[in-house]
Amino acid sequence: MLLALIALPKSAWFTYWEWPTQVILVGALSWFTWPTGVSLRPEHWLKSIAIGALVFVLWIGPELIDANYRHTFLFSNRLWHVGSSLSAEALRSPSVLFWRTVRASTVVPVAEELFWRAWLMRWLIHNDFHKVPLGAYAPMAFWVTALLFGAEHGAYWDVGLLTGVIYNYWMVRYKSLGDCILVHAVTNLTMSLYAIQLSQWQYWQ
């Protein structure tokens, strides 16, 4: 559903209502489809917060070291480009900034961790994924999930891949969906606050 909402044609109305719509609909869907017996509570919350902050540093690090790093052919080409998909008008709207941040730090971590770590990484091990425990490790499933997660992030595929490896490891290490969601939420929240504070909108693709 999240991908479908993102793909909808944009209009003046949708520019301002896209984000609260996503938060409400995707949040409700995640609530009603939450796996039975899987806890949302993180078991290692201090470590997960620290790892989430570390991943944020990994995302912004290359461009802090070299401002032109992301503008080479590997990252800026006909497939990918660096820059925000939001219009300049939207980026001046407090409402858009607020709801975009809420979406990034709440429903996106839940929806993506349900998909990548709770479903895909298990389904690649066995098509009846319910038979596979959370955090089960199989090399093919681990690396395919990480590669696809990296590819999802376009021009940031390199740090996306590294992030996928870290998130996958966190699931394998602690077998906790709640901890993976917390790590992801901290990364996205710090990224959003950084983008807003310093107008680094390229991180809001």
Q: What would the pLDDT profile of 96-119 be if each residue is shown by its tens digit? A: 899 889 989 998 999 899 999 999
Give mean pLDDT, residues 119-145.
97
Longest Cα–Cα distance in the chain: 48
Tens digits of residue pLDDT in 167-204: 999 999 999 999 999 999 999 999 999 999 999 999 98
Domain residue ranges in the chain: 94-205
For the segment 128-150, the average pLDDT, to the nearest whole number, is 97
DSSP state letters, 19-46: HHHHHHHHHHHHHHTPPTT---S-SSHH
Residue 15 pLDDT more than 60? Answer: no
pLDDT of 19 higher than 70: no
For the chain, how far is it from start to end, CA to CA, in angstroms? Answer: 18
* Nearest CA-CA partner of 122 in 38, 1, 196, 19: 38
Q: What tens digit of pLDDT does each residue of 20-53 get? A: 777 777 777 777 777 777 888 899 999 999 999 9
Per-residue pLDDT, 159: 97
Average of per-residue pLDDT across 144-159:
96
Please report the pLDDT score of residue 32 as a whole number: 75
pTM (2 decimals)? 0.87
Give pLDDT, residue 43: 94
Classify each residue of 167-189 as buried b or exposed e, where b means 16 or more C-beta atoms within 10 Å of its C-beta.
bbebbbebebbbbbbbbbbbbbb
Residue positions counted in the chain: 205
